[in-house]
Amino acid sequence: MMPLFQAILAPIIGAPIVYLLEKRLRLKVGWIAFAILLYSLSMLSMVAVRFLREGAPIVEEFAWAPLVELYFGFRADGLSLPVVLIIAILSTVTAIYSMPYMEHKTGWGVYFALYLLYAAGMMGTVLATNLIEFYLFWELMLVPSYFLIAEWGYGARERVSFKYFIFTHVGALSLLAGILSLYVITGTFQLYEIPIKLRAANISHYVLFWIMVALLIGMFVKMAVWPLHTWLPDAHAEAPTPISVLLSGVMIECGVYAFARFVPLFFPELLLENSHSLMILAVITMFYGGLMALVQTDIKRLLAYSSISQIGYMLFGLSSATALGLIGSIYHIVSHACAKGLLFACAGAIMHQTEGLRDMRRMGGLAKRMPCTALAFLVGVFSLAGMPTLSGFISEFMIFLGGFQGVGYTQRVAVVVIAMLGAALTAAYGLWALRRIFFGQLPDYLKEVKEAPVTMVAPIMALAILSFIFGLIPPLILNFLSAWAEALGL
Amino acid sequence: MMHAPFATFAITSSALLIVGFWALIVKRDAIRAIMAIEIMFHGANLLLMSFTLYAVVPDVTGWSAIIVLISVEACVIAVMLAMVFNVFRRYRSLDTALLRRLRW
Amino acid sequence: MVIYPELVPLLPLLLSGIALPLTAILRIDEKLKRNIACIVACIAHAIAMILLFLPTGLVWVTQKEVIVRSFIKGSILSTLYVDSISTFFMLIFFLVGLIVSIYSWRGLEPGIRAELYYALICLLTTGMTVLCMVGDFISFFAAWELLSISIYALVCSKRDDVLAMEAAFKYMMLSCIAAILMIYGLSILYGYTGHFDFIGLQRALSASIPYTVHLALALLIITFCFKAAIVPFHTWAPDVYQASIDPITALLSGATTKAGVYGIMRLLSISRLSPELILSLGVLSVATMTIGNLSAILQRDIKRLLAYSSISHMGFVIMGFATLNPLGLAAALFHSLNHAIMKPLAFLSLGNMRLIAGDTTEEKLRGIGRRMPVTTMCLMVSLLSLMGIPGLNGFVSKFMLILAAFHAGLVWLAIAGIVNSAIAVAYYIRVMQIVLRGTSGAAKAEVPMSLLLPVIALAVMCLVLGIIPAPVISWALSASELALMGKP
């Protein structure tokens, strides 16, 4: 039956079909894309239920080119299932969201075809069982997103997409160098054979460190950790908003997933040793993103910098090298996907209704005209700031508790201070944006603004409800993640 | 029959190669360029001939090789002359300095 | 007179090559003559390719030596030597020749005499096929000159194009010098071993060989590197590629450069090359990749940019040779095949765009993507494949090359390969942006189907080879293991 394979194959096959159906269906091809992604989502849900019942990871394997040791497989376990599910959910609802957004643009067939390939790339990255397949899907994420930004983006989209491509591709090449070095040492690409062979090979500490650095550079470029973040503000701000939702919501989190998958598996001791340096990097990223977000006037740029800051949170959890920290980071992937996706979708709704207004200084009092959007924006901001009953609270709580456990007694005070300052900063820029956009005086040129159409509001509301659900019923995700943490031996 | 020692042949063939190369670089006339290539070719052939002559085990393969090479080069020279003729028809002169339009 | 079955794939090509110019004297309509010539050339190539793959064809031969005897009792005319390496390259040559012949149905300008053009293409393919099949270096040289002559004539096939004539003239001079160097090297080889034929040379060179013979082998490699456009013998390539008409550029980049690669591969299978020579191959490969990429970044004309990109890809192929393990050689072979599919795809798509836009400079091609969606998509496939994006064939062979370099312990070579892949992305993206950006404002125009079909076929081949590379990889691996048999 191979549900995982079907889940990935469906969007890939669907892409040319959607392209060809554009002539007959015009904008309605978006519904075909939605149906395909819904099918993938249902396949993945079936696998998730099976995993929870059986408790063992579900793996599907094929041989691609055995002579050069290229195998192909999909692995659904406690780590990959929550991430791939949130990718699928976000892609599915954003497919509906794309339709009203793309009303006044052209090339719907190409857009949805590239969109499906992009979704397939992200899902494949998370489900990959060997390093080469992982690299393949990592690059496969890059090409459609490049074209999507270059074609339908705003501003200086050529330069922006070019920079995005070059940065990510060079990072991917660094990743490839690390992967190939691991292959030369261990003789295999399969994820779960490498740790065994690595321990047997008895490699010098120094070499292992540099291999980890090569892999980390690739992941950090994708995650936009300071100082490799410079591509993100432009790319996320100038991308078409549905693509910004996916870029900020799930694509940069694929880097976080890669870290969580590879580093504890291959280099557990190195992670423990360098935990403090990575934490410092995370804190810098957190505050850099937050402070830059505070001074932005363009709503999408503000959200982009906020993404950088949230990645800082996730890296903080990962680098603490404790079970709670790691689980918290992955939980934060889910909550950030819902919250940031939600926020970008609201920004897009505002842009759609006000004919492209992005400057927050010219907005105000929109809550009267667009109540649903305002409510959703509120939920998103509070989730990021970590208010209880929303998913952000659970994830940030776990991240900082993990950080607390991971440092020595003297540094715990620092962790508490960082946690408080970080939460304050996030709340600050979020609430200030909320106030500037939705409250205050409604200017004259915005008096005629109406609420966004249903096809936009429904996805936004869905994401808001998800934030609540994941905040109120943590076991939904924690069941998966604790199984993974147990398997890791933490 | 007394042949000159092997070294003479080797030096002569190298000399022919060098002279031909120099002529190709320095001379500006297209026909002279072809002649320079002919000289270089004959130098290489001379070397082959000297190896065949002084072979420890006499073998006819070398001689037949030389004949094949000469006939192949004759075809090549024919094509080169046709090319020069083409150049002449276009430029009305055989000055290779005129063929400077393709640069970096 | 015995008919040698190995020579049969040659016959249609050879006969077409001889017969087509004779049709020039027939008094029929020009257009009809042109179409007949094209059909004859296409059928000849197709028959040759089909004959390769028949159950009795050469593809299934692992190694075979045939001695061709003349009717004078006992004397040897020549030797044929066919093995997996030969058939691999023969496939490349037939494929590119077929695609270019089909493309030329409409892609020829009026100033070109069709019967002579197709005759030359058939003779070119004949020359390359004979190159793969012969068993001694003298026949090899004859085939080498046959293919060189055909190139000189094809490059200046447009009679009134001054640039083409210049390029052909310069290429002619340089190619003759290279051929003379080859004769020099052959003389020294013969002087030392007393053999021209591959089997005899293999036997004689299996023991340790003196320095002079290494010099001779180096001279031979220089000649082959010249044909393959390796730095510092690459100077002819940008000019010749830019000045020829698009189908001929596709043929040159796809097929004739691979003839040089075949020469190096054959040399590797015959003798043990000295470590210094292998090291210098590695250095040349890094130099070629780097200079090719850096020069490509500076180009304004897209066709010249692709020419430099060809040069840098040949550097990748030589990297495979420098590793001296079966994976590396197989990777070099596979990359030659992939490049022979990707580059003609790019040049032919560019040719289609030239037909609509008028020229291949940046200004003329800006925004042409909107007017010609199908061709542009094929060009995208080619550029993504050249970049090494997974899912297309370029990635698999590049990956194998870098892996082989790591295996051989040549980490500097592998890093150079990875870095050059990164640099190359810059100009490929630039081409993509130029083609896709902007609105040229004009209406949708597309070239006729006969020009689209070869391009689409090549694009499909790129995709298929990227997803299912296994059969070709195993063929290349068996060929390279054969080559390295018995050598350390």
The per-residue pLDDT for range C285-321, each reduced to its tens digit, is 999 999 999 999 888 889 999 999 999 999 999 999 9
List pLDDT tens digits, range B46-100.
Answer: 999 999 888 878 778 888 889 999 999 999 999 999 988 888 887 777 776 666 6
Residue pair C391/A136 in contact (Cβ under 8 Å)? The answer is yes
Q: Return the pLDDT at C334.
A: 94
Q: Return the pLDDT at C369.
A: 77
- Can you tell me the ipTM of this complex? 0.91
Q: Return the pLDDT at B76.
A: 93
Q: What letter would DSSP give residue C54?
A: S
Is the pLDDT at C425 greater than 60? The verdict is yes
Distance, CA of C195 to CA of C206 (rounded, Å): 13
Mean per-residue pLDDT, C369-398: 87
Confidence of residue C65 (pLDDT cuts 50, 70, 90): low
Mean per-residue pLDDT, C118-139: 90
Mean per-residue pLDDT, C435-445: 70
Which residue positions in chain A have pLDDT lower than 50?
none
Can you list the alpha helix ranges (DSSP code H) found in C358-439?
362-365, 373-387, 393-407, 411-436
User: Cβ contact (<8 Å) for C188 and B59?
Assistant: no
Distance, CA of C148 to CA of A481 (rounded, Å): 66
What DSSP letter does each residue of C245-273 carry, written as one string? -HHHHHHIIIIIHHHHHHHHHHHHHHS--
Cβ atoms within 10 Å, residue C123? 23
Pairing of strands A70-76, C63-69: unpaired
Distance, CA of A330 to CA of A447 (rounded, Å): 42
Q: Return the pLDDT at C1.
A: 45
More confident residue, C137 or A486: C137
Closest residue to A169, CB basis, from C415, C425, C477: C425
Q: Which of A180, A207, A221 to mutate to test the interface with C (most CBs of C within 10 A)?
A: A180
Is the pLDDT at C401 greater than 70? The verdict is yes
| Domain-located, residue C31 | no
| Domain-located, residue C467 | yes
Mean pLDDT, chain C, as a whole number? 86
**pTM for this entry:** 0.84
List pLDDT tens digits, range A211-246.
Answer: 899 999 999 999 989 888 999 998 888 888 899 999
**Domain residue spans of chain A:** 274-490
Cβ atoms within 10 Å, residue B94? 16
Which chains, if any, share at least 3 CB pairs under 8 A with chain A? C
For chain B, list the domains and their CATH numbers: 6-92 (1.10.287.3510)
What DSSP letter does each residue of chain B carry, written as one string? -PPPPHHHHHHHHHHHHHHHHHHHHH--BHHHHHHHHHHHHHHHHHHHHHHHHT-SS--SHHHHHHHHHHHHHHHHHHHHHHHHHHHHHHHSS-BGGG------
Q: Do chains C and B touch (3 or more CB pairs under 8 A)?
A: yes
Q: Return the pLDDT at A69.
A: 63
Distance, CA of C314 to CA of C320 (rounded, Å): 10
Q: Return the pLDDT at C51.
A: 83
Distance, CA of C92 to CA of C255 (rounded, Å): 7
Is the pLDDT at C443 greater than 80? The verdict is no
Q: Return the pLDDT at B104.
A: 39
Please give, rounded to a whole number of angstroms, the shortest distance from the CA of A225 to a CA of chain C.
21
For residue C361 the two structure tokens come to: 């400079």
Please give, rounded to a whole number of angstroms, the shortest distance from the CA of C389 to a CA of chain A.
7
Please give, rounded to a whole number of angstroms, the shortest distance from the CA of C107 to a CA of chain B.
24
Q: Return the pLDDT at C161.
A: 80
Please give, rounded to a whole number of angstroms, the shortest distance from the CA of C433 to a CA of chain A.
7
Residue pair A380/A386 in contact (Cβ under 8 Å)? The answer is no
| Domain-located, residue C345 | yes
Helix pair angle (A412-438, A275-294), 10° resolution: 20
Peptide linkage before C275 cis (omega within 30 of 0): no
More confident residue, C222 or C364: C222
Distance, CA of C461 to CA of A26 (rounded, Å): 31
List pLDDT tens digits, range A407-433.
Answer: 777 777 788 788 888 888 999 999 988
Confidence of residue C229 (pLDDT cuts 50, 70, 90): very high
> Distances from the Cα of B26 to the Cαs of A155, B29, B33, B36, C294, in angstroms?
57, 9, 9, 10, 31
| Burial per residue of A126-136, b for 16 or more beta-carbon CB atoms within 10 angstroms, e otherwise | bbbbbbbbbbb
**Cα end-to-end span (Å), chain A:** 33
Total count of domains within chain C: 1
More confident residue, A245 or C485: A245
Domain range for C448: 288-488
User: Cβ contact (<8 Å) for C194 and B44?
Assistant: no
Chain A CB contacts of C422 under 8 Å are 169-170, 173
User: Cβ contact (<8 Å) for B57 and C180?
Assistant: no
Contacts of C32 (CB under 8 A, 6+ apart): none
CB pairs under 8 A between A and C: 63
Mean per-residue pLDDT, C94-118: 85
The secondary structure element, H or E, covering residue A74 is strand A70-76
Chain C CB contacts of B43 under 8 Å are 180
Peptide linkage before A11 cis (omega within 30 of 0): no
> Phi, psi at residue C278, to the nearest 5°?
-65, -40
| Domain-located, residue C95 | no
Confidence of residue C261 (pLDDT cuts 50, 70, 90): very high
| Domain-located, residue C165 | no
Instruction: Compare all CA atoms of chain C with the CA of A107 and give the residue at the minimum distance.
Output: C370
Closest residue to B102, CB basis, from C141, C163, C186: C163
More confident residue, A391 or B102: A391
> Distances from the Cα of A150 to the Cαs of A144, A162, C389, in angstroms?
10, 8, 18
Residue pair A141/A191 in contact (Cβ under 8 Å)? The answer is no
